[in-house]
Structures are given as C-alpha cells and as structure tokens.
Amino acid sequence: MKVQPISGRRVRRGALPALLLGAVLTLVSGCSGDDKGGDDKAADGPSQAVVTIAPKDGATDVATSGALKVTAQQGTLTSVKVADGKGNVVDGKIAGGGASWEPTGHLGASTKYTVDAIAKDKKGRTSAKHATFTTLTPENTFVGYFTPEDGSTVGVGMPVSLNFSRGITDPKAVMRAITVTAEPAVEVKGHWFGNDRLDFRPEHYWKPGTKVTLQMNLNGVQGREGVYGTQNKTVHFTIGRSQVSTVDAATHQMSVERDGKPLKTVPISAGAPGHSTYNGQMVISEKYEVTRMDGRTVGFGGEYDIPDVPHAMRLSSSGTFLHGNYWSGESTFGSENVSHGCVGLYDERGGGDPSTPAAWFFNNSLIGDVVVVKNSKDKTIDPDNGLNGWNMPWADWVKDPA
C-alpha cells in the first residue's frame, strides 16, 4: 500500500507496526507484576499430595466389608465421597489427622460405587482422585423374618423379634446393621437367643403411644462365612394402650388392668396337676378366632384333639394359649385347674356368643398385651419360649453377644 506523508515528512515503510508492538509490550509488562511475584507463581507447581483408593479403579467382586479405604501421602484428606448409582452416600470418617478414610458400616452387595477424594499438601495445593468399583454378588444369602408387622398397633409388652433364615456366626456384624428407635426416646437393646433369633426391647414395658421404628440394613452384611444379608427394610409400629392381665392359678381368677386401673376380673381354669401352667410374664403373640388344638403337635400324643376352639391367643411357642373353653362345665372356671397347661375362659363352641368371658377378653386384647401368671406349681417360663424376654433381668439382657 501507499504511505501518506505526515507533517510534510514521509514515514518509512514498517515504522508504524514497530511503534504499535512497543506499546503492546509496554502494556504486557505493566500487567505481569514484579519479578518476585512471577517467581512465586512458577514455584507453585502441582500438589505433592498423593491420594490412593483401594480397591483399584474398575475392580469387581469386591468384599462388602474391609476392602474400601482411601489414604493420602504427603498431604491430608479434605473430602471423600462414596456413593452408589442411586446417589446414596456411604457414611465414613477421616482418621489419623487426614491420613485415611474408611466407611463406618458395610457396603451393599452387587452394587457399583463411585469414589471421589480430595487431599491437600502442606502448601494448600489440592490433588483429586476418582475411582469406581463393584461389590460381590453372593451365592448364599439370609433374611430376617420380623414381628410385629409394619403399621400395626400393639400392646406394651411387644418386643421386636427377628428370626433369621440361616444361623448367624457374626452376631456383632448383624447387630450393627439393625437399629430400633423410639419416640419418645428410650434405650432399646438387642439380645440373641441362639444364633438365629435376635429380640429388642427397652428395660421396662413400652409407654403407651410410643412410635417404634425398626431399620434393617442387612444388604451386604456377612452373617456367616460366605452368607450375606439381602434386606434393607424399615418397619414402623405404634404402642397402644397399656393392658396387663394377671392370672392367679391358686384363686382361679384373672384380673385385667387397663392403663394402670382395674378393668375386669374374669374366672379362669389353669393347668391341672402334672400339667401346670408356666409362671411369669407372657406376651400375646398370635390371635385366632377359631382353631383346632391337637395334643400331638405339642408333645401330648393323643391325649386331646379339640376342634372349634374359640378365641385362642398364643402365649408361648411351646403351645401355651389363653383360650375359650366350651367342653368343661361353666362351674369349672373360678374353681378348678383342669387344662394341659393353657389358661381357659368359659366360652361356647366356635365362639359365636360375644357375651362370654373368653369373647370379651379376646375382643379387648391386642397382640403384644401382657399376661402374667402367678402361684402356679410350674417354673417361670423361659425368656425365649415365645416373646417372653421380660422374664430375663436387664443386666443379663444387655450382655455382649460374644
């Protein structure tokens, strides 16, 4: 192009670009700061912290306990997040002043997890690590069958009882995965009966109106070698009014108290000599409007087989019931003990008459209500015979399962 003369002088070709370049260089040096600041930035460099995740990225068939750990070298962990594909976060804690992180519980089985961890070195520079892994799929599993039912209203004596489909050899691992809480709050403790049953209760009967929650986080728990739980389940139930009935085998009477006040006295017949009724605190665990009672099912051979037994309420797993009795004369009740260990109340066959003592008691009872038997010639019932853990002292109940 042609260059036009300025102020009567001709500017040499290429002079203007040189001037502009000088101005640009002047602006750049003005924004760069002094020499000292530039040296610091160059010295920053990458973080020296090294994050390690075990198991390694992409691992499969990972154990649900003991395998996951995040560590930091030449630095400290500031954040660790572990989550499954649904966004459920795994609880854990940083230990050793930021040197390591481990989960506080177990992982689920057959689950893919994502791990994101951040650490910083002594100069505050951060380093991050990302990994994924998948836990094992167990070949052998167990479940816990629970009572009471979700959404039910039960009596003040109702424990939470779990029966496992396989014998448990690591009771502590299973107990860590199960919680029972109450509102209003009260201390609730678990106790093992053998290796396949775990019951929970407070020290004293529940208070009426208490809301109880059972949480089972058993998925991935190794209950015994090679056998894993599969359940994540939440159960809610409510404690109804208080009803405690006391059977006096000597006087042949049952006094019923509702919320601490006398409600009614009912004549009864308890176990005959040689077949006396257990003493102790018993909890109603099942109710049947009509059932059949066959002595062969409870070790009495062919001594009896009675159809159409009305208003039957189970008090023990060994066969103790409180039930209606139509085959003994009405005068028996309140005067004699004639049963094979059950507590009988006068009734009619099939239970069609709602005015009988047995019908009244059945209709006014909840599963979880307490029936106390005293002055019988028998022993106190074993705590694991039915839902009858109240017969075990609290100090024994809370002993370590190991």
What are the residue numbers of the active site? 323, 342
Query: DSSP letter string over 60-125?
Result: EEE-SSS--EEEEESSEEEEEEEEETT-PBPPEEEETTTTEEEESSPPPTT-EEEEEEEEE-TT--
Task: Report DSSP state, residue 285.
Answer: -
Half-sphere exposure of 342 (CA within 13 A, CB side): 26
SS3 of 237-273: the string is EEECCCEEEEEECCCCEEEEEECCEEEEEEECECECC
> Rounded CA gap, 39 and 17, in Å?
32
Q: State the Cα–Cα distance between residues 213 and 278, nearest whole angstrom.
A: 31
Burial of 322 (0-12, 13-18, 19+ CB in 10 A): buried
Q: What would you report as the CA-atom Rg of the chain, rounded to the nearest whole angstrom?
A: 37
Please state whether beta strands 243-248 and 370-374 pair in parallel, antiparallel, or not at all (unpaired): parallel
C-alpha–C-alpha distance, residues 212 and 229, integer Å: 23
Report the run of H or E that residue 26 belongs to, with start and end: helix 15-31
Helix count and strand count (H, E) for the chain: 5, 28
Cβ–Cβ under 8 Å, residues 243 and 257? yes
